[in-house]
Structure 1
Amino acid sequence: MSRRRGVEKFLYHYDKDADLRQKFAADPRAVQVDFGLSDEERDALERRDVVQLHMWGLHALLVRNFAGFLKIDYVSLFREAGIAD
């Protein structure tokens, strides 16, 4: 696991827990408290910055699933950032 364990833990639970997804939609900062995230990590999640999550080396399936739940076209964003073919 990457050095950003808290973010990966959050993304894992976000993928598995519909209640967490609803709470995140209502108040992103409040649900992140239990995951020990830095300000930078919290900001990236609040911005739904899947490019940054990818650049940090987080597990690709966790990033993909996070983007999917939020209906983010992550492939287009990766291309714009120059990190996809």
Structure 2
Amino acid sequence: MNEPRVTLYGRAGCHLCEEARAVIEGVCAELGESFAEVDIDTDAVLAERFTEEVPVTFVDGRQHDFWRVDPDRLRAALRT
């Protein structure tokens, strides 16, 4: 299986993270992609970097969105 193209950085108990996960799951399923999820609270560097922006979405290793995930914008990024 290929490396996931989408990474979701978030934290437990974050309602925006739950909403972002649902969008990412749906778009990835639709396009046959996979995604990885990272809890920023398990890494001090990530927690410091992203604490005010979670959820943060990366596509192909580059930051794509934070706070909210737009499904059309994510689809477009994954089609390139």
What TM-score bracket applies, with the shorter chain setting the length? under 0.3
TM norm structure 1: 0.25
Instruction: Name the structure, 1 or 2, with higher relative contact order (CA <8 Å, separation 6+).
Output: 2
TM norm structure 2: 0.26
Choose between structure 1 and 2: higher strand proportion.
Answer: 2
Choose between structure 1 and 2: higher helix proportion.
Answer: 1
